[in-house]
Structure 1
Amino acid sequence: MLKIPRTRRFALRSATLPIAVTPGFESAAKEGLSSADLIIAEGSIEAVLPAGSAPDDIEGADLQDRMVWPCFTDMHTHIDKGHIWDREPNPSGDFDGALQAVRADREANWNADDVATRMDFSLRCAYAHGTNLLRTHIDSLAPQHRISFEVFSDMRARWKDRISLQAVALFPIDAVDDEAYFDDLVEVVAANGGLLGGVTHILPDLERRLDRLFQTASDRGLDVDLHVDETQDVNILTLASIAEAKMRNKFEGAVTVGHCCSLARQSEDRANATIEKVAEAGISIVSLPMCNMYLQDRHPGRTPRSRGVTLFHELKAAGVPIAVASDNTRDPFYAYGDLDMVEVFREAVRIAHLDHPLDETAKIITCLPADILQAPEFGRIQNGATADLVVFNARNWSEFLSRPQADRIILRNGMGIDRCLPDYRELDPLMKG
């Protein structure tokens, strides 16, 4: 069994690194993978060196070509609603059933203790799997916005040395017309260092509501992260309207949109025109392949015809930053999942054909989402970076993608962590309500 030294300065010899996440290191690569030695000192990466060049007098571990990645960024989650499946399942497995089940559970059970317990459980899972930067959307219909954002702020403080947390207010876009509610929501979001979000859908005056959202975000210095076109309905495509609104309002903050499923249902001409607008507007996109595969095109007794994911390759080719993330976890929107970004990566590669080649694919759960979240210090292996690393017992892509990598080693500040996952039995008291 591999043992990582527990000294202040040590070497990880004969590591295999994805070059895409190792800026400044130049070495021969095969399939985007290169051999290197890492020097770790005082919890940081002191040097990334060609394999075999680490000084012999430094204590170290021979990784025997094991892959080493930076810790992960999970940029779109819902840890406020996670782990309620046992209490409020979604028997139909479709989107409408999920909405109804979550609404019922929220109204019956989402007090501060309930939300805090499930948030903490979710974060313990993410931490054990190797995530160190996470953004969550928070259901923010009144009065839940005040309850859940207060819980989030407390959780962010408690977890600040383990996972860096961001939060986005989630609400229907038409709620911006409820002046008292929207003003109060904005105050709560601003006070808690959050982002404005929302769910867009086709409305006669969608443009006016988007203008209100962007103008408010601009006035308060808030970034925007929206749920967009999470449907197979070809007639629903609000993505272009969002891009136009960002440009029309000269919004200078960051704008991220998630899902964009109906983009894949459009004609080539309409899809390409929309993608051009997204690129021009400088919008980033996050694809949620596991949840979208679960919900989209689901009909009783009928095999799904569509994968439900967005046009990943076309967006990337147009220069649009696009990453992947977990989305929901064991709730009515997705019955499965564990906030494990290795699972997300493996399934995204298969679902969206992000292989052949795999040279830069490691970016989609590391440095690229970190950049989208404006946290460029995360998701990279480079001199001076914190030694937050994941060591895999895999030497190449075939080995990496063929197994769940359950035996991975997580280093935080250069020290191995306890990877024991929380027991679901801990949540049993919440399920008896």
Structure 2
Amino acid sequence: MRLRNVNAPFSFAGTKRFALAGARILASRLPYRDAPVDRDGFALTDVLIDEGRIAEVAPAGRSDFGDAPKASLAGGVVLPTFVDAHTHLDKAHIWRRAPNPTGDFEGALKAVAEDRAARWTASDVAGRMDFCLRTAYASGTAAIRTHIDSIGAQTRISWPVFAEARERWRGRIDLQAAPLFSVEFALDEAHMAEIEAMLDACGSNILGAVTYMVPRLSEGLDILFALAERKGWDLDFHVDESADPAARSLGVIAETAIRRGFPGRILVGHCCSLSLQNEERQPRTIEAVAKAGLSVVSLPMCNMFLQDRQGGRTPRWRGVTALHELKAAGVNVMIASDNVRDPFYAYGDLDMLEVWREGVRILHLDYPFADWAPVVREAPARAMGLSLESLRPGARADFILTRARDFTELFARPQADRTVLRDGAPVAPAPDYAEIDGLEGLS
């Protein structure tokens, strides 16, 4: 075995039992509390791995792992795998064939609708989705929730593709999906009957919609809440993805959850307009969100790309929600990838370390850095109802090894030379974009 990103690369051909020595791991994630902690919250740690599992965890230098070969990480930061709670795997990698030259929200909607009608066959969606999953796996992601465009015939095309991918990736990436359609479609009985049947057939238990201030918003929400209550499903909404402070569907969702006493989990994404509400309105909305027990996911890269975009004019705000205020109110908050190389966002690579790095800069998720580390793992896992294995003996040896020795080094570079271990073995690098030339319309 060869790990490429340690200060002194090492090779254990076929070795199943070995030690990572001098790994810098956040003390809050360790099974012990009796080691020195640095100013970033890290403790130097030795980890014994045996047959793909963690055999022992001990403070650095205090372990006795016998004759197990040791790799000195020289204080390199070691991370657990990531959880990506908001993606669009069915849209990814269509930018070349469906560009959005204006770069704005309306242009994205138009480009996606045209491409979906013309090209989203089962094989097309499957090929792009598989490329996404291989990329995310190589970057260190262990769980993903995707939204799936679920309108008309596309519902019947994309959902079986997702169900097959979920089974194929079981044990490597935990996959969840929620349907995506405008909230007005909730008023269409035939549409909702098809959505219910498709989710049942594909074994999904998450219902969702795009919400904004339409005249029958409350009526549509009640239909969605009622179906989720009857089926025992969770809810996941796109919310107020605009710069209009009058867009207040977030508050309506929170009030609906409180009024109905909804028992399931609710995740709301974007919530951009919340940050533009005045000092009287915003605290009341946040209070309702906290009372309702909603989780909030911010999509920093995509929203900074889309929001406040006007040709020939420099943007005046970052497009993200009031994440600090929500966290201070006790709301479960997180960040995620969102769109990747599609008309909504021309960039991205389903790399949660990139999302974290950019999130630190866009949303000031620092000082202290460690307080915000859960936004890429523990917080999204709670929102998705996942039980994560802790860093304890018996758990899978799933790690991301870097050469960075603190958070400033971790976020200063993209960590392209990281090594991702799954079951104690390094995974293959991300696939080459050339593999999807045919899907992207290149010769």
Which TM bucket (shorter chain)? over 0.9
Q: Could you say which residue in structure 2 is the equivalent of 1:3?
A: 10
Distance 1:23 1:109, change over 3 A: farther
Distance 1:183 1:56, change over 3 A: closer
Q: Distance in 1 between matches of 2:331 and 2:266?
A: 12
SS at match of 2:209: coil
Q: Distance in 2 between matches of 1:299 and 1:120?
A: 34
The reply on whether 1:13 has 2:21 as its aligned counterpart is yes
Q: Could you say which residue in structure 1 is the equivalent of 2:401?
A: 391
List per-residue Cα deviations over 1:325-360 (Å, max 9, x = no partner): 000000000000000111100000000111111122
Q: Could you say which residue in structure 2 is the equivalent of 1:32?
A: 41
Give the CA deviation at 1:23. Answer: 5.3
Answer with 179-188 or 369-378: which moved more.
369-378
Distance 1:412 1:73, change over 3 A: same
The reply on whether 1:211 has 2:222 as its aligned counterpart is yes
**TM-score normalized with structure 2 length:** 0.95
Distance 1:365 1:343, change over 3 A: same
Identity in percent:
50
Q: Distance in 1 between matches of 2:223 and 2:56?
A: 48
Residue pairs, 1:124-143, within 5 angstroms: 124-143=134-153
Q: Distance in 1 between matches of 2:421 and 2:160?
A: 30
Distance 1:310 1:21, change over 3 A: farther
Q: Distance in 2 between matches of 1:332 and 1:394?
A: 34
Q: Could you say which residue in structure 2 is the equivalent of 1:48?
A: 57
Q: Distance in 1 between matches of 2:126 and 2:29?
A: 34
The reply on whether 1:167 has 2:174 as its aligned counterpart is no
For the Cα contact (< 8 Å) 1:35–1:65, is it kept in 2? Answer: yes
1:86 paired residue among 91, 96, 99: 96
Q: Could you say which residue in structure 2 is the equivalent of 1:370?
A: 381
Q: Could you say which residue in structure 1 is the equivalent of 2:159?
A: 149
SS at match of 2:291: helix
Give the CA deviation at 1:26. Answer: 4.6
SS at match of 1:103: helix
List per-residue Cα deviations over 1:348-381 (Å, max 9, x = no partner): 0000111111122221112221122111225x43
State the 4+ residue runs in structure 1 displaced beyond 6 angstroms.
none
Q: Distance in 1 between matches of 2:221 and 2:233?
A: 14
The reply on whether 1:121 has 2:131 as its aligned counterpart is yes
- Match for 2:161: what amino acid? V
Q: Distance in 2 between matches of 1:4 and 1:126?
A: 25
For the Cα contact (< 8 Å) 2:234–2:264, is it kept in 1? Answer: yes
The reply on whether 1:72 has 2:79 as its aligned counterpart is no
List per-residue Cα deviations over 1:286-342 (Å, max 9, x = no partner): 110000000000000000001100011100011100010000000000000000111
For the Cα contact (< 8 Å) 1:42–1:414, is it kept in 2? Answer: yes
Gaps of 5+ in 1: none
SS at match of 1:359: helix
Q: Could you say which residue in structure 2 is the equivalent of 1:112?
A: 122
Q: Distance in 2 between matches of 1:94 and 1:8?
A: 51
For the Cα contact (< 8 Å) 2:144–2:173, is it kept in 1? Answer: yes
Q: Could you say which residue in structure 1 is the equivalent of 2:5?
A: none
Q: Distance in 1 between matches of 2:334 and 2:28?
A: 14
- Match for 1:51: what amino acid? A
Give the CA deviation at 1:4. Answer: 6.1
Q: Distance in 2 between matches of 1:49 and 1:363?
A: 22
- Match for 1:18: what amino acid? L
Q: Distance in 2 between matches of 1:156 and 1:400?
A: 31
The reply on whether 1:303 has 2:314 as its aligned counterpart is yes
List per-residue Cα deviations over 1:357-416 (Å, max 9, x = no partner): 1122221112221122111225x4333321111000111111111110000011001111
- Match for 2:9: what amino acid? L
The count of residues paired between Structure 1 and Structure 2 equals 431
For the Cα contact (< 8 Å) 1:259–1:287, is it kept in 2? Answer: yes
The reply on whether 1:401 has 2:404 as its aligned counterpart is no
- Match for 1:92: what amino acid? T
- Match for 1:2: what amino acid? P
SS at match of 1:346: helix
The reply on whether 1:193 has 2:203 as its aligned counterpart is yes
**TM-score normalized with structure 1 length:** 0.97
Q: Distance in 2 between matches of 1:210 and 1:64?
A: 53
Q: Could you say which residue in structure 1 is the equivalent of 2:192?
A: 182
Give the CA deviation at 1:425. Answer: 1.9
Answer with 282-291 or 25-34: which moved more.
25-34
Q: Distance in 2 between matches of 1:26 and 1:404?
A: 32
For the Cα contact (< 8 Å) 2:26–2:41, is it kept in 1? Answer: yes
SS at match of 1:226: strand
- Match for 1:121: what amino acid? F
The reply on whether 1:349 has 2:349 as its aligned counterpart is no
For the Cα contact (< 8 Å) 2:22–2:72, is it kept in 1? Answer: yes
1:246 paired residue among 253, 257, 263: 257
For the Cα contact (< 8 Å) 2:96–2:441, is it kept in 1? Answer: no
Give the CA deviation at 1:250. Answer: 1.6
